[in-house]
Amino acid sequence: MSSDLQVAPPPVLKPNAKHISRACLECRHRHVRCDGGSPKCSRCTKNGKECSYVKSHRGGSRKKGVKKAKLNPLEAERTLEQRRLELPCVGADGKVGSCPNGHTESSCALLADNNFEGLEKLPCHLKDNNARTQVTFETMRRATSNGTYLKQQFDVDAVLHNYYAKFHNAHPVLPPLSHMNKFLERSDNPKELLAVMKIIGDGYTTSKYAKDINAVFDVAMEISSLINSGPKDLISIQTLILVSLVCHISALHDFSTTLRKQAIELALTLDINNLDIERFVGEDINGNVLKDAGNRNTNGLTPSGSSTEELNVNFFNTQRVRNLEEVCLKDCARRCFWELFFLDIIIGCADGKTLSTLAQKQCFVNYPSDPPRAKFDYETRAHCSKLVDESVRLNNIIFSNMSIGQQYTKLTASLSNWELKFSNPDFYQLPYLIDQNGTVNEGVHQGIIMLNYAKIFTHRPLSFLWRSDIPRNLKCVEFLSDQLKNDNDNCQDLPTQKDLINSRKIIETRKTIDAANSIAKTLIDTNPVDVLKRTPLSACSMAFAGLVHLSAYLWSSQIVQTQEQHNLNICDLNIYEEYLKLELSGIYQISTHFYLSAKIANYLMDNVQRLLPSLYSKIQHHFKHYSNARDPPATIARSPNAVIPMNESPSMNSNEALSNNITYSLAMEGNSSSDKNFSLTTPSSDEPPSPQSDTGCNWIDKNQMDFDFSNMEFGGFDIDSLNAIEELFKVNN
């Protein structure tokens, strides 16, 4: 071999050399090799460059025959949860705050990161109330909480004191205070129950949860996770009821709905709706009759006679409830059931369309023995709640263009019967709203609210305060006269029938307004100063009444403009104005503690400003403290671009003032609807549900309110322009 022939030395192989499957963006742009280091590659670290990674779109591993090892289901779920925590949060045009998964604001801004395609991003918490996020409960349920709230050591005495002093009387879900220490001790001090009791007590004694619903959301998520991972029993139901209510009054409506449905499902699974089936007499609240009751041995709590023996064993013999007395446990179950029955209707049915789940089930459950009926009337509240469900059912029939004759007659008779009962409690052996000691019976109070809810839902669709097409539908007004049963739906061509329908609509309008007046009068009777002693859901009833009074003000103002003798209507306008001030005052008091009230008060004020600027100016002056505050609360905070109400001359007569009110409000609408900085955004029907509703109240978001005056003679007034009021409500389908 020639000496000139040189053999190339063998290549030097680096130990453990491997193919790098990812490269940072900086190295990609420079077309240099990247070692894929985490969190920064060595080249970016050396050069002080920003280092970030995105997913490659060139496929998977280049090595043939190499497959990833399969994970068992438990490891796969854990890996998925960990990867979700590494995701950036859902964007909201840069309007982000602290996030439930611990992300910083800068990391949430990395919305183009595609490292984890196919996984849903977690919701960010919003600094701007107008920002929207695409969040469903399924996304929230899979989120992992930091778990700090439940780890604290609760001061049980302080928790019990605040909860029972401020909240328990309005919603007596738990045992009496005298029994509660023993209840907690025997059930091993359940953390989730103490946590929700603490957040309710803190909500009433401070204002921190009125300003930070993110904190409510975090605690609710933590409690929900603990319930889902632990035993399901009566304490789980108690906790779910309270957490659901807290979420609702914090404007976390989708989350609240899911928790409430979970509580109902668990109650039905544990057969609580048949708790007293052995001893039940007569029809239940839904009209179900028990047949062959003597042949049934089901107890509802004990395992001996149930077809679902295992579930009932778990219900009665879980580790933390096995030592509870059976009498106490059964009464707790009754309180839970009837609280769910009430909440599922006042919250779930208040959109005017949704029917209650429990109002369609067997309810062979007696009313609780503690508190006694003289202190809290469960029966009255339940029956009045049932009327709301029936009125919503009537609404659905109306919207379906079906005959309502029999349903309407039966429902209005039932409503009138309950009006008579409340007017003469002694004759019907009912407790008074306020007893001889001045104590308010919260069950009667809530029953009155539900009765007036039912009256509004029943009468408003057929009044001048609701949709124009409904009173023209002959099937909806066939109870007026047999003469209306013909094929011609155009009532405008039939003067006699038109007058008859107008007369009926006036009656329905007055009944609707009377129901709203009754809500305001109940607030007066129970002392507006003590509104925080009532249920926090009173804010919804006052807002509902306020919307009716606003629509009544608009309707009456049009009559004033067309009548020479308008003294009576002017008096009505003054009454509606004072009622609006009263209702807003009550809502504002609750808004200092819970966020929902702030949202609906702000929503109501915005619509008064938009539709009746002069009335808004009067009401705003009434709340001068809020409007002049340097840092106004959420209830009255307004956009810097909000339109200032028009000033009126003292010499302007009432007709001119009313005309200017409406004309100016119509001119305002175009500006306010296009103002991106307006304090409350207009709900959009194509946006997905959010844990925080646009207006802060679910029944506002999912309802619709419009007015029609075409059946009344208003001279030369431009009636068509009043269609702008249709924007008062938007329907989210």
**Per-residue pLDDT reduced to its tens digit, 467-488:** 544 444 434 444 444 433 444 4
Instruction: Count the helix, strand and coil residues of the chain and give each as a percent rounded to the nearest 5.
Output: 55, 0, 45
Tracing tokens 């998520």 back to the chain, one arrives at 221
Higher-confidence residue of 383 and 131: namely 383
- State both tokens at 466: 């609701």
Q: Is residue 519 over pLDDT 90?
A: yes
Higher-confidence residue of 602 and 652: namely 602
Determine the residue type at 250: S
> How far apart (Å, rounded) are the C-alpha atoms in residues 274 and 358?
12
pLDDT at 55: 61
- State both tokens at 688: 């997905």
561 pLDDT band, cuts 50/70/90, is: low
- Mean pLDDT score, 588-614: 88
Determine the residue type at 53: Y
Contact 54, 113 (CB under 8 A): yes
569 pLDDT band, cuts 50/70/90, is: low
Contact 253, 732 (CB under 8 A): no
Contact 528, 585 (CB under 8 A): yes
pLDDT at 559: 75
- State both tokens at 596: 């929902």
**Chain centre distance of CA 27:** 50
Contact 297, 278 (CB under 8 A): yes
Tell me the backbone φ, ψ of residue 346, rounded to 5 degrees.
Answer: -65, -30
> How far apart (Å, rounded) are the C-alpha atoms in residues 310 and 605?
54
Contact 454, 460 (CB under 8 A): no
pLDDT at 26: 80
Query: Virtual CA dihedral for 537, 539, 540, 545, nearest 10 degrees?
Result: 130
pLDDT at 439: 95
Three-state SS at 96: strand
> How far apart (Å, rounded) are the C-alpha atoms in residues 538 and 523?
9
Three-state SS at 283: strand
Q: Give the number of other Cβ atoms within 10 Å of residue 6's Cβ.
A: 7
> How far apart (Å, rounded) are the C-alpha atoms in residues 379 and 659?
48
Q: Where are the domains of the chain?
A: 78-144, 156-360, 372-526, 530-733
Tell me the backbone φ, ψ of residue 247, rounded to 5 degrees.
Answer: -65, -40
Burial label for 330, CB within 10 Å (0-12, 13-18, 19+), is buried
When mean pLDDT is compared across 307-321, 451-465, 670-684, the lowest value belongs to 670-684
562 pLDDT band, cuts 50/70/90, is: low
With vertex at residue 556, the alpha carbon angle to CA 555 and CA 558, rounded to the nearest 5 degrees, is 70
Report which secondary-structure segment, H or E, holds 466. Answer: none
Higher-confidence residue of 326 and 636: namely 326
> How far apart (Å, rounded) are the C-alpha atoms in residues 311 and 7?
82
576 pLDDT band, cuts 50/70/90, is: very high
Q: Whats the size of the chain, residue-wise? A: 733
> How far apart (Å, rounded) are the C-alpha atoms in residues 683 and 693?
9
- Percent of the chain predicted with pLDDT > 90: 36
Contact 361, 270 (CB under 8 A): no
Tell me the backbone φ, ψ of residue 7, rounded to 5 degrees.
Answer: -90, 125
Higher-confidence residue of 379 and 558: namely 379
> How far apart (Å, rounded) are the C-alpha atoms in residues 43 and 65?
32
Three-state SS at 228: helix
Q: What is the pLDDT of residues 706-721, one digit of tens each?
A: 333 333 333 222 333 3
- Percent of the chain predicted with pLDDT > 70: 60
The predicted model scores a pTM of: 0.67
235 pLDDT band, cuts 50/70/90, is: very high
Closest C-alpha among 91, 132, 135, 145 to residue 113:
91
Higher-confidence residue of 309 and 228: namely 228
Three-state SS at 692: strand
> How far apart (Å, rounded) are the C-alpha atoms in residues 216 and 559?
47
